[in-house]
Every structure is written in structure tokens, then in C-alpha cells.
Structure 1
Amino acid sequence: MSSEQKKMGLTRVLARGVFRFRITLLVVMAAITLALGFSASQLRVDAGFMKMIPLSHEYMGTFLDYQGEFVGANRIMVSLRNEDGTVFDKEFLASLKQATESVFYLDGVERSSVTSMFTPNVRYSEVVEEGFVGGNLIEADYSGTEAELREIRERTLKSSWVGQIVANDLRSAMVVATLQEVNPDTGEKIDLQAVANKLEDIRSELESESLEVNIIGFSKAMGDIANGARGVLVFFAVAVVIIAVLLYWYTRSKRLTLLTLVTASLPVVWLLGLLPLLGLSLDPMSILVPFLIFAIAVSHAVQMCNSWKLDVLAGADIRTAAEDSLTDLVVPSVVALAANVLGFLVIAFVDIQMVHELAITATLGVGVMILTNSLVLPPLLSFTRMDQHALDRLTGKGSHYWFWEKLSILATTPKAWVPIVCALALTGYGIYQADQMHVGDLGDGVPELRDDARYNQDVRAVTSQYSVGVDVLQVVVEADGDNMPCVQPELMQQLEEFELFLRQQPGVASVGALPGFVKGVTQNYAETNPKWHVVPGNRAQVAQGVAFATRDGSTLMNTACDAMAISVFLSDHKAETISGIVTAIKAFKSVYDNDTLTYRLASGNVGVMAATNEAVTAANPWVNGALFASVTLLCLAMFRSLRISLCIILPLALVTLLCNAFMSLLGIGLKVNTLPVIALGVGSGIDYGIYLFERMKHELDARDCSIQEAFFEALKQRGTASAFTALTMTVSVATWYFSDLKFQADMGILLAFMFLVNLFGAILLLPAIAAVLFRDRSFAKQPEEPGFVAESESKRTSIAQEGFPRSGVYSGN
């Protein structure tokens, strides 16, 4: 008995078992669906800060070690702008005080980090005849008199806070605070969405015609992203309508259209219900996965319904047709879904929890799809009758395959070189263009949001009004020794060299460090003589400057003064800016790291970006390598031929290269959001090649025909279905382009590109490669028992005579 007959026997036994208990199965599946539907109502959208960073990266080790001592990467900035005057206005300061109190009492805010003109950590100092005079910018007993306002103005101008929390034009002032990951009062994880909503409440309470409020920070960005992600429901509904129209056009049956949509919705409901039971949640990135699962499920359901329909048209009763369809499709469907699973799993190489959860979520969705497609849809089909008008329209209607006949000439040796030469030219262009693709963000603001989003407008407003940028890279310098090692003059001078080195780097807007602060204090003690703007040569004078620095809290150093934070404010967070400064710091570190001083990268929001970019760069070759190795093994296991595997894999490799070039052309960087796209596209796109080639191989094994004839038969039986599923998935994901979130729009464009171009690769390039590699027509023919071949061939022939292409095996998604 051949391997094909053994496989056929097993699937027939499985199909008979399913239909023997079909009513019981449907009842059980309905009960599970109801239970998981209720569980899905408990699902949360979670955008935790720690989920989005590569915690095992070296930089994040520094971040975690010092997140409790220095200002963290998760900061909030609330800026108020007086449209009718300056900040030295009674009404404006009343609003600023209200904003300060509101931010102070936000859940998860580290109280000691709150900084504004009203907080005691914002002070001024000046040199007078008697020595130094200093104090708070705004005293605790402030009442808003004209004299007090004039005094506040004088103190502000004498301080170093202009450009930091007071705008350069003196018309804006801000409140700055650091948000913790866990609420210290309750021990629970901070709900970033709730924080973002409360920040928006602060804006609505304060903003007026004369007062503009700008709010930026990680939590606010995540809140805006989560709110935009909820809009995916609208695109889901639009896609369902579009798919329903396409399905009806394809099936000519309202019943099959409705059945396909209902069955495709089941894995989505099951997935959303399983996530809370497993302690998982959706984040703004993985919220698109259910949408993608639905599109894939539709394409699988279409194949099953199409197979059943053609059997019914050939004269089979509805139950037999449903059982035969399950028998024919269960193995190739599982193989196709295995390719999808591989595409989802390999992205787990990116060492970020959010990406791991994305891989788990998508794998769960595909896993339950196997059950719903095999155990729910075929039994339901056995109770379904074809619409009479659909039968009348399809019965006796011949099919015309002139387009497929014309296309089949690509499987002949002379004509095959046309697509191959075109592919080689595209390969050269793809290599050139893909070489210009960058890792990380390529624009200003938050790239996940559109350029005209309110948050990005707020970013531009804050960066234009203040001297301190929102993109901060912190380098922690650890000093060895006891008893305040930072007060040693030699150590402070080495830090001064590092600070000067940083200021000279491209993309650096400013640097905040302890040496510069100590130099300023020393100059003030010398009656502001510029000659004394130096690091003192003795320990006592350095200690004098460090003592003043302690009044600013832990901004510049920790309590023991054995770790100093060097804050590098960048002009932007573009990929080349970050990589340039990080490379420069690493070069400095390689020379000047010693037993006394150790330079550690990196904290701050740019430190997180740098770690994420490096994690993506490191994972990218592993993701692509593992992906193509796994799908190649899948092809080898199925066809047991290296040449056949090459025919399928080479078009996929070209499409992947062109996707990278496409990203470069569109200005889309390789990031956590876009890296999974290639894996998903390859995992889904391989189906086209597998099922077209499977039919070609079968035709060549079953009868004496040329490669062109075999490809023509494959196109007749599978080409239309493949084209329909490609169109369905392309249209579904293309609707994401209209999302409020730019990263969703980017993912939609890239996935649509890969789904569609993968189809072109399968029907244009695959036969050409086959014609060149298989000039001897040797397709590693597998012996089959005559009975099985004769039965399947006679069934296909009878259908073909009626003008209907037999699509017995799933033809890809």
C-alpha cells in the first residue's frame, strides 16, 4: 500500500468518525463557543511598559538596576501655555498649581519625582555681596499678589529652569513626573490606559481659549495607541462586509456565504475567550491578530465549502459531499496551517515579552482554527442545502480557462526565462533598495501614531518651546570606592572629558551631567567669574558643588554618589541618530573603562529604543533563517524533493526581499511592529506554491503529460481559488491603511503587498523555475495503487466535463 493510500485511509477513518458523532460534536462545540464567548468579555487591553522592552538586554539591566534611583524612562510631561501672556500671571499659575496637584495624585506617580514651579525641588540661587541667596521659585505661602508675581519672575530668570520646565519664551511651564510600573500603595500593576485617560481629564479641565495643554510621555502615548487600536473593530466590520460580498460573488450562495462567515468567526471567539483563561491580554500590537485570524479562517472555510459545492454539483448527496471534502482537505489544511504556525512562532526570537505574547496569541488562533475547520464546518455542511438559484446558475455552465491557458506557457523552457530574468532583475533592485532599510524609527514623534495625531502635535509643541528634548539617553557611570567617591577631583575630571565628548557628537542637543553642575557652582562661588567655570582641583570644593546637586534629588547621582547619571538629550530619535551616539559611547567606553570608572549603557527612553533596535537587529537573521529553514523542511517532508522545495522557496525569498525594499521605499523601519510581517507573509504565502505544485506533481505522476499541461491543470483546479483567497486577504488587511494608528496602516500595507505578490510569485515564477529544473519531467514520482488514482481521476474528469474545476485540496491562503 502506498503512502498516499495510507494517508487516504487514515483521513477517511477520521472523517467517518466525525460524521458518526456530528450532532454531538456540534452541540459540544456550541457549548464551548458560548463559554469562551463569555470569557472573552473579561479580556483586557494591556500596554505595560515592561512588556515592550527587551528585559534581558544589557542596556535594560542598567535601566532596571537604577530605575529606583534615577529618573526613569516612563516620564509624564504636562505643559501649559498661556496664549494671552506669560507664565507670570495669577490665573495661569493657578492652573499650573492645579495641574501639579492633579499629576501628584495620579496612581503610580513617584511623588518625589514631581517637578514644577510649585514643587520644593525647583529652586533658584544667586550670588550676592554677603554670599549666596536661594529658595523655592514659588514660596508655600504664595497668594498671587502683583509683588509676588514680579518676585517669581526675577527668581525664575536667575534660575537654571528656563528652557527646562519654563519655556524659553516664558509663555509655557510644565509639570514633570516619573511613573512607576507597580503602584506602591496597592502592589498592583499600573493601568497605563487609566493613567492616560486621567491625563486627558486634566487636559479637558484646564484647557480653554487662553490656555493650551500639551501632554506627552510613554503612558499617554500608549493610551492614545490603545484608543486608536479599539478602532480596529470598525475595520473588522468593514472587512466582514467586503468579504461577504466577495464570498457571495464566488459561491453564488447566501447560505454558503453565511456559513463561511460564521465558521470563520469561531476561532476568533475561541481565541479571545482563551486569552483571559491563560492569564494573557491583548496589547495594541496584538489586537490585530484576531482580525488576521478571521481572514485566514475565511480562506480555509472557502476551500471546504468550494469542495463540498463541487461534489454536490457532481451528483453527490450533501452528507457524502461533506464527508468527502473533509477526507480530501484535512491533511493539506493542517499542513497549510502548520506553515502559518511556523510563521507565527519564529517571531518569538525577538526577546520582548509583547512579541512573545503576539506569537502565543497567533498560534492559539491557528490551533483552534484546525478544530473549527475540521469538526464544525463539515458537519454543518452536511445539513446545508445549496440555494436553488445557485444551482440553476452553476449547473451546465461551462468554464473558460483561456487566461490560465495563456499563462501556462511560462512552464515551457523558452518562455520560462522571461519571468526568471525579470526575477533576477528584481533581486538586484531588491538588494540595492533593501540595503537602505534602517532598523528603528525614521521620523519624529511617536511613529505608531500618524504625524497629525494630537500626541505628535504635543511633542512638536514641547520640543519647540523648551530647550530640553523629549528624547533622553542616560549613561550611568559607576565609581569604585567608599565614602562618596564622586567627590574625587580626578574622577570628576574624567567625567568632564566624557561630557565634553558627548556634546561634540552629531544629533546631541544638550547634556546634563554632574561635572557641568559642579563647574557652575564653582563659578558662582567666584562671583560668577567665567575663569572659574572649571572642575576644582581639590576634594573640598568638588564636595561643595556636589552638595548643591543633592538639592535636585537623584537627577545627577544616587545617594551614595557612587553612580552618576549622564543625560544626553538628542535632537530626535531616528535610527541613525541613536545608532550614531551609541556607537560613539561604546568607542569611548572601550578606551576609558577602568577599575575606577565603568560606563554603562543605557537608561532613558532613548536607551529603551536603542536596546529594542539592537534586539530586533539581532533577531532578524534568526527569524528569517528559522522561518525559511522550517518551511523548507516542511516542503521536503511533503514532496521529498529538493528541486520541488526550491521551486516553492525561491519565489518566497524574492517576495521577502522585495518586501524589505518596499519598506525602504515607504520609509518604514524594521521594528518590533514590522518584523513579524515578513514571517506572517511567508507563513501564509507558502500555501499558494505548495498546493499548485502538489497538483502539478499529481498530474505528472498520474498521466503522461508535459510540465505545461500539468501546470495548466493545476491552474484550472486551484488557480481561481488561490486568486480568490489572495484577493480576500489582501482586501481585508488593506482596510488597515485607514487606521488612526500608523503602525497598523504600515502592517496592513506590507501584509497586503506580501499576500498579493506571493500569489504572483506562485503563478508566474514557480512554473518557470520548475520548467528549468525539471527538463526531464522527473518529479520524484511516488507509486500509487491504481484503484485510488482511477477513483480520484474519474471523479475529477466527471466534474471537469461539467465545466467545474475540482478544488479538492486547499489552495492556500
Structure 2
Amino acid sequence: MGNIKQDAMPVIRDVRDFDHRSGNLLERLVFNFRPLFMLLMALATVVLGFMAVTRLELRPSFEKMIPQSQPYIQNFLENRASLRGLGNSVRVVVENTKGDIFDPEYLDVLKQVNDQLFLTEGVDRAWMKSLWSPAVRWTEVTEDGFQGGPVMPDTYSGQPEQIEQLRQNISRAGIVGSLVASDFKSTMLIVPLLDKAAAGGQRINYHAFSQMLEEQLRDKIEYAGDSAARKSGVEGSGHYKVRVIGFAKLMGDLIDGLIQVMMFFGLAVVTSLIIIYAYTRCVRSTLLVVGCSLIAVVWQLGIVAWLGYAIDPYSVLVPFLIFAIGVSHAAQKMNGIMQDIARGTHKLIAARYTFRRLFIAGVTALLADAVGFAVLMLIDIPVIQDLAITASIGVAVLIFTSLLLMPVALSYVGVGAKAAERALKIDNRAEKHKGFGKLWDALDRFTTAKWATGAVLVAVLMGIGGYVVSLNLKIGDLESGAPELRADSRYNRDNAYITQHYALSSDLFAVMIKTAPEGCLNYKTLVLADRLAWELQQYPGVQATASLVNAVRQITAGTYEGNPKLNSIQRNQDVLNYAAQQASVNSPELFNTDCSLMPVITFLKDHKAETLDAVVAIADKFAKENSTEDRQFLLAAGTAGIEAATNIVVREANRTMLLYVYAAVTLFCLITFRSWRATLVALLPLVLTSILCEALMVAMGIGVKVATLPVIALGVGIGVDYALYLLSVQLHFQRQGLPLSQAYRNAVSFTGRVVGLVGITLAAGVVCWVWSPIKFQADMGILLTFMFLWNMLGALILIPALSYFLLRERAPKRGSVAATETTESTERPGMSHAVTTSE
């Protein structure tokens, strides 16, 4: 070890003895013009920080959550104008806790809610439904023919006889279970939303819409003005309760949760400060490491705002990752400078030495990180593509902050003398097999036959077991309600109430039947629509179906004094035309204006993955067997239809994404190591971690969906750093002729502490998500923490074990990236993961 540590870069105590013309062009530009460089960095930070503060928005979008090029979604978007109410909508339920709905005071409250929602910007008023909506009508057959009218009497003024009339109208309209609860204690308002607000043409602000629901409805009605009680999360104890579900409310609640999540970012900063200080015992360098990482986050958010992107509940997690990655890279620079200063080198020269050793390696590391983000662009879901773009911007920013700004700033402030001496003592103790040396000795055992065989066998058994468990991994939601939120959240409590008290759920799956104008009234078309509805009803997960066929049957029978023999689809076209004319008054949502499109609407018991898969299979098979040039059966509309299409894209993207990320990382490792055996050694621990992560998802009841899909790709892209830290240095020493045991011993003594520091820092940056009120963020925090820590352990244990079988007597060819570094360039415990050529 003593010979290895001979300094190839001389100790220079006076900057006047240093050749400032040395180093590559970038180093000379940065360090020879340090004041100008620092000024430019400060100006960029101020400008981008101003943009982040003034322009950045939290702006979720319904359209960005769906894969717009997926065939089902394209069918929905092409016919969206004819399918009002089957897309983005909100359902509001007003409950009377001390009586029933036939209470004049309750009906007045319901009218207030109806009027407030009707006048709200972004509401599609023509298709809004409630007891107070004129479009909600009753119909009955009498001796004189059909009679009908609005469910709410035109002359209603709260009189007992009018209340009784309302009771009869509700019964005749058949809306119990849909707009009226089965126990008559609450009623529902169905509020379809427009893509854009009608007045200004801008997209709906879901957070503002959600706040309106809270302030104008819940605060005034349920909490009687006590907004503090509402914010506490408990349900109001007043006479009435307001329950709301739907995409807009879900996004609003997620944004409210994200505002709380900002506290977790502060916790991640404090945790990183503690970890870095515990490692360095140097206040100035600790603050600088965290400060440069925070600057990276400011730059990222500023550039995102400048480019016109917005933050949504999914991409808001990216700054956490960028901060954690920035801390790990900045810590490497700090550690290298600390070692040189401890040996007597001037702080400016130490900073330049570290820049020479680590810049190319750092860029290489960030490219590996970028791979995990870049492959997400291949997933045809805009919200994930936005996440990939914002993350890629963050990775690019780290080149300037962690790789350039950090060493230049350290050249000014240096590190504490005591901290530098302490670091040197730790290394000296490790050389004498004390302190960290004992840990290095324990890890070195995995280069022997017995320990290597045992480690590999255990890994194989874990991989097999994890794979068997991972076969049960589901695509989509595994629970009812909104899995994005906690089970005890107000939203999920409201959803549970509505599911329990209403016969028809909000999970709608619609098959669109497209024909020529007036073609939906064709006898054959109606018969096929009826057959499709019947086949869907045979699946236990279906509550009921609704289509124009139902209305045609009822109206036809009613026309003939309710004769049950005529409760059918008649071949006579005039009869069908009359039935459709009557249906257009009471149920205009069942077909469009020119009768060229009608949906077969299926009400599902839930939107779990199994339910959606089964319904899609039934409808798709029927569509393929019965679609012709005259009529096409198109999947799918409705909330459940959109989610089913999203699940299909996620299922296809899940394996494709892993294939691409592993292909990219494999190519990256081959270029770095120039050895397929070394590439296998680097990749196999990552594969094991990916398998175990999927098994963990099964154990925790987490399905693969939009929120969790990026996790494994991120874990692989960032996790490969650990292998590169150790393996490149190990291969260098093996090329020098050292046996595997000694080569790994040297590599782990140089980089082991940094590997541990990076693993712990990355995990600390995301582990606090576990306490997030947003369920999918908590899930991502658990999975990413597992992957970061497990990849670290895999690198420290499996790399030597696999090397025993694949690299014991083989060294990489000369000329490879790993074989071009001088001995000195690998002598620092702060060395980066790729060994690079110094100038």
C-alpha cells in the first residue's frame, strides 16, 4: 500500500510554484478566471431563481395523464365532443346527517350547491346533472300516452305537497342509486368539466377548483365557516356533509399534499447536512456541498419555468433526486480536495487536481444517471415524459454546479485543517487494519472461493425467489378508491361512502358504436349493442349497463300502454325513430346529434386491474368479431376506459423500459470497461435489485402504474454508479499485476467510504417520503430507498464475489478507459467511479 500511495501529483504549497497553463482548456477557463466564473454562476442563480419563483406553476392536466397515441384513447379523443360526461368529471354528494332529502332546508342547501357549481368556470353546464337540473326528467306511460317533466317541480317552493310530488318524480325517473342514494339521505351532482375554461380559453386550474369546492361548499355547509376544522382533516359535525370525488378533486388534494411535502425537502436538506458533517467534521465544506446541490435545484426549476413547463404531482419529486445526486457528486470533490490539503497542497491546486481526476468521471457518472431518466421518454404518457425532461435538465445542471462550481468554490474556502488531518488519520488506521480497515478486511473475504461461492448462491436463491414472487406483480390499481392518497384520506372516505350508498359507481367503461348518420337507429346496430351489453353484464365486476337500447325498449313498451311483449327492439324503423326522438329529450347523452355515435356504458364495481382487464377482453373480442364498414365498435371512453388504456400502455412500457435501460447501461459499461466479463459483474447486482424491487412491490400491494413505473428505471440508472466506483479501480490494479484479493482491497479502501456515503445520502434524500400524505410518493420513497441501499450492498459484496468467477485471472486490455489512469489517480478515498486520464 505504501508504494501505491506515492504521489504522482506533487505537493505544491505555494500557488506561485504551480503552472497555471497546465490542465485542459476547460480547467484553464474555469480556474484561471475564477472571479468571472463565480460572477457568472451567481448571476445565473439569481436569474433562474427569479424565474423559478415568479413563473413556475403547479399545473396538473387530465390530458397529460393519458397516453394520447394509444388506440383506445385516440378513439375517445376523436369522439369526445359526442361523449359529454364520459371524460373528466366531478361528483359531489350532499348528505343530510339528521334526516332525509325530503327536507325543505336540505333542498335549499342542495340548490345552493347546484347554483355554485353551475356558475363555476370550467363546468360543462349543459351536461351537469342534479335534482335541480331541468335535464333530469321523469317519464311515465298513461292512457293518454307519455307524460313527463323535470324531477324538481317547476313551481317548487318548499310546500309539503310539492315535497310529495318530488318524491313521486324521483321514483318515476328511476334515479335512485344514481343521483339519489338508496337510503334517501343524500343526492349526487354530476359535474362534467371542459378541457379549457370557456371564458379565457386557459386550462382549468385544478387546485383553484378544488379550493373552491372546499371554501364555497365544505366550509360554508359542512363546517359552518370553521375552515380550521376542515383543514384538520376530520369530517364536519354539522347537519350536512359534502363529499367530492373525481380527477379535479384528486389533483387538488395531491397539490395540497405536495405543499406539505415541501417540508420533507427541508428535512432531506437537514439530513444531508448531518450525514456530510458526520463524514467530514468540517462545517464550511459541508455547507458548500449542500449549498451547491441546492443551487442545482434552483437552476433546474428556473430552466423548467423558462421553457414553459409546469410542475405536476409526479415531476415534483425530481428536485429531491437531483438534490441527492448533487450531494453525492459534490461530496466526492470535497473528499478529494480534503486529502490533498491534508498532505500540504494549496487549496487552489488541490481543487485543480481534483477537477483533473474527477471531471470526466463525474460527467460519465451523470450520463449513467441520465440513462435512467432518458428511457422514460419512450413511454407514451405525457406526464412521465415531462418527468424525464425535467430530470434530464436537472442532470445537465449538475455538471455546472457539482462538477464545476463545487471545486472552484472549494478553491476559495478550502477545508478545515482538523478535518483534513482527521481524514488522513482514518486512512492510515485503515492501512493498519484498524477502524474502516476491519470492514475492508471483511469485504475482502468475498474474493475467496468459499465466500464468493456462498454469496453467489445466496444471490441466485434470492433472485429465483424474488422472480417467483414478482410473477404476481399487477398492472394498475390494486385497491378501490384513489391509490394516490392514503386509505384514510378524506377523498377515499368520500369514495367509500358513495360506493356504499349508490348502486352505480363512478367507474364508467364505455364502448362507442360509430355508424353513418342515423345509423345508430338501425335494427342490426341496436341488436348488437344489446348483445354487447348482455355479454358485459355476465362478468361479476359489472354492476349494470346503459345504452340507447334500454331507452328504446322502455319507450316502445310505453307507447303501447306498457305492454311487456313490446319491451323489445322492434324491426319497424318508424317505431325505432319515435323511440329515439323521445329518448333525446330525457337521455341526450345516449347518442349524439346526428345519431352516428352511441355509447354502451358499463358501470363497474371498481377499477382494479383484474376488473379492467376482464372487461377490456370481453369488449375487445366482441368488437373484433362484429365491427364492419357500416358500424364500428370502438374502445374505450369513460373513466375506467381511460384507465384501462393507460394500464395497457404501462404494461407494454414496463418491460420495454427495462430492456432499453439495461441495454443503454450495458453499452455504457462496455465502453467504460472494454470487457464483457466486467460488464456482467457490474450488471448482475442491478438485475438482482430490480427483481427484488418487483417482489417488494408485490409484498407491499403496489401495482405498476403511472406513478410507480419510473422507479426501477431510476434505480438502475443511478445504481450502476456503485459498480463503476469500485470496478474501474479494481480493474486498474489487476492490470498492474495485483491478484484479485489485493486489487479489490485497494479499490474498496479507496472508494468504499464514498460508496457508502453516496448510498446513504441518496437514500436519505428519499426515505422521508415515507411519511408523505401522498401514497404513491410514500411508495416511491420506500422503493427508491430499497434500491439505493441494496445496490450499494450488491456492489460491495457481489462485485468481488462475481469477480472471483469472471475476472480472477483476467485484466482488461490496455488502452481501455479503465486502464489509462495513473496510479496516483486512484489513490484517493474520494475517487470517482470511473478512472480517468489526468492532464
**Equivalent in the alignment of 2:62:** 49
Structure-2 separation of matches of 1:725 and 1:771: 25
Q: What is the deviation of 1:502?
A: 1.2
1:265 equivalent to 2:271? Answer: no
Summarize the alignment of residues 509-658 of structure 1 with structure 2, pairs less than 5 Å apart.
Answer: 509-658=543-692
1:204 equivalent to 2:204? Answer: no
Q: Give the 3-state SS of the residue equivalent to 1:555 in structure 2.
A: helix
**Equivalent in the alignment of 2:186:** 172
**Equivalent in the alignment of 2:792:** 759
Aligned 8 A contact 1:706 1:777 in 2: no
Q: What is the deviation of 1:522?
A: 2.4
1:737 equivalent to 2:770? Answer: yes
Summarize the alignment of residues 394-793 of structure 1 with structure 2, pairs less than 5 Å apart.
Answer: 394=423, 396=425, 398-399=429-430, 400=434, 401-480=437-516, 482=517, 484-702=518-736, 704-782=737-815, 789=822, 792=825
Aligned 8 A contact 2:510 2:602 in 1: yes
Q: Which moved more, 1:351-360 or 1:518-527?
A: 518-527
**Equivalent in the alignment of 1:75:** 89
Q: Give the 3-state SS of the residue equivalent to 2:190 in structure 1.
A: strand
Q: Which moved more, 1:563-572 or 1:490-499?
A: 490-499
1:58 equivalent to 2:81? Answer: no
Q: Give the 3-state SS of the residue equivalent to 2:588 in structure 1.
A: coil
Aligned 8 A contact 1:474 1:568 in 2: yes
Tell me which amino acid in the other structure corresponds to 2:30.
Answer: V
Tell me which amino acid in the other structure corresponds to 1:96.
Answer: L
Q: What is the deviation of 1:594?
A: 2.1
Tell me which amino acid in the other structure corresponds to 1:571.
Answer: K
**Equivalent in the alignment of 1:149:** 163
**Equivalent in the alignment of 2:233:** none
**Equivalent in the alignment of 2:277:** 248
Aligned 8 A contact 1:303 1:811 in 2: no
**Equivalent in the alignment of 1:18:** 30
Q: Give the 3-state SS of the residue equivalent to 2:310 in structure 1.
A: coil
Aligned 8 A contact 1:16 1:323 in 2: no
Q: What is the deviation of 1:597?
A: 2.2
Aligned 8 A contact 1:11 1:331 in 2: no
Q: Deviations over 1:463-516 (max 9, x none)?
A: 111111010011101123x4x222333322222111111111231111111112
Q: What is the deviation of 1:745?
A: 0.3
**What percent identity do the matched residue pairs reach?**
36
Q: 1:88 aligns with which of 96, 102, 113?
A: 102
Q: What is the deviation of 1:129?
A: 3.0
Aligned 8 A contact 1:25 1:375 in 2: no
Aligned 8 A contact 2:22 2:28 in 1: no
Q: Which moved more, 1:469-478 or 1:128-137?
A: 128-137
Q: Could you say if the C-alpha distance between residues 534 and 699 of structure 1 is closer, same or farther in structure 2, counting changes exceeding 3 Å?
A: same
Summarize the alignment of residues 255-404 of structure 1 with structure 2, pairs less than 5 Å apart.
Answer: 255-391=284-420, 393-394=422-423, 396=425, 398-399=429-430, 400=434, 401-404=437-440
Structure-2 separation of matches of 1:135 and 1:786: 86
Aligned 8 A contact 2:52 2:302 in 1: yes
1:38 equivalent to 2:53? Answer: no
Structure-1 separation of matches of 2:400 and 2:180: 61
Aligned 8 A contact 2:97 2:239 in 1: yes
Q: Give the 3-state SS of the residue equivalent to 1:564 in structure 2.
A: strand
Q: Could you say if the C-alpha distance between residues 549 and 251 of structure 1 is closer, same or farther in structure 2, counting changes exceeding 3 Å?
A: same
Q: Deviations over 1:164-221 (max 9, x none)?
A: 1111111111111210111222222221221111122222222251111101111111
Structure-2 separation of matches of 1:409 and 1:458: 57
Q: Give the 3-state SS of the residue equivalent to 1:368 in structure 2.
A: helix
Q: What is the deviation of 1:526?
A: 3.7
**Equivalent in the alignment of 2:205:** 191
Q: Could you say if the C-alpha distance between residues 12 and 511 of structure 1 is closer, same or farther in structure 2, counting changes exceeding 3 Å?
A: same
What is the root-mean-square deviation of aligned Cα atoms in Å? Answer: 2.1
Structure-1 separation of matches of 2:418 and 2:675: 45
Structure-2 separation of matches of 1:783 and 1:138: 82
Q: What is the deviation of 1:118?
A: 1.1
Structure-2 separation of matches of 1:296 and 1:486: 58
Q: Give the 3-state SS of the residue equivalent to 1:216 in structure 2.
A: strand
Structure-2 separation of matches of 1:564 and 1:394: 74
Tell me which amino acid in the other structure corresponds to 2:65.
Answer: M
Structure-2 separation of matches of 1:632 and 1:784: 15
Q: How many residues are matched?
A: 793
Q: Could you say if the C-alpha distance between residues 628 and 526 of structure 1 is closer, same or farther in structure 2, counting changes exceeding 3 Å?
A: same
Aligned 8 A contact 1:15 1:326 in 2: yes
Q: Which moved more, 1:386-395 or 1:487-496?
A: 386-395
Tell me which amino acid in the other structure corresponds to 2:503.
Answer: S
Tell me which amino acid in the other structure corresponds to 2:832.
Answer: V
Structure-2 separation of matches of 1:361 and 1:672: 16
**Equivalent in the alignment of 1:97:** 111
Q: Which moved more, 1:13-22 or 1:72-81?
A: 13-22
Q: What is the deviation of 1:394?
A: 4.6
Structure-2 separation of matches of 1:44 and 1:467: 39
**Equivalent in the alignment of 2:231:** none
Q: Deviations over 1:274-309 (max 9, x none)?
A: 112101110000001011100110011110000100
**Equivalent in the alignment of 1:129:** 143
**Equivalent in the alignment of 2:122:** 108
Tell me which amino acid in the other structure corresponds to 1:371.
Answer: F
Q: What is the deviation of 1:753?
A: 0.7
Tell me which amino acid in the other structure corresponds to 2:506.
Answer: V
**Equivalent in the alignment of 1:160:** 174
Aligned 8 A contact 2:330 2:403 in 1: no
Structure-1 separation of matches of 2:513 and 2:585: 20
Aligned 8 A contact 1:416 1:767 in 2: yes
> If the length of structure 2 is used for normalisation, what is the TM-score?
0.92
Aligned 8 A contact 1:652 1:682 in 2: yes
Q: What is the deviation of 1:780?
A: 2.5
Q: 2:250 aligns with which of 213, 221, 245?
A: 221
Q: Give the 3-state SS of the residue equivalent to 1:378 in structure 2.
A: helix
Structure-1 separation of matches of 2:91 and 2:823: 75
Structure-2 separation of matches of 1:790 and 1:121: 82
Structure-2 separation of matches of 1:544 and 1:92: 38
Q: Could you say if the C-alpha distance between residues 654 and 783 of structure 1 is closer, same or farther in structure 2, counting changes exceeding 3 Å?
A: closer
Q: Give the 3-state SS of the residue equivalent to 1:124 in structure 2.
A: strand
Aligned 8 A contact 2:753 2:829 in 1: no
Structure-2 separation of matches of 1:548 and 1:627: 57
Aligned 8 A contact 1:685 1:759 in 2: yes
Q: What is the deviation of 1:393?
A: 4.3
Q: Deviations over 1:219-272 (max 9, x none)?
A: 111111111112221001111111111111000111111111111111100011
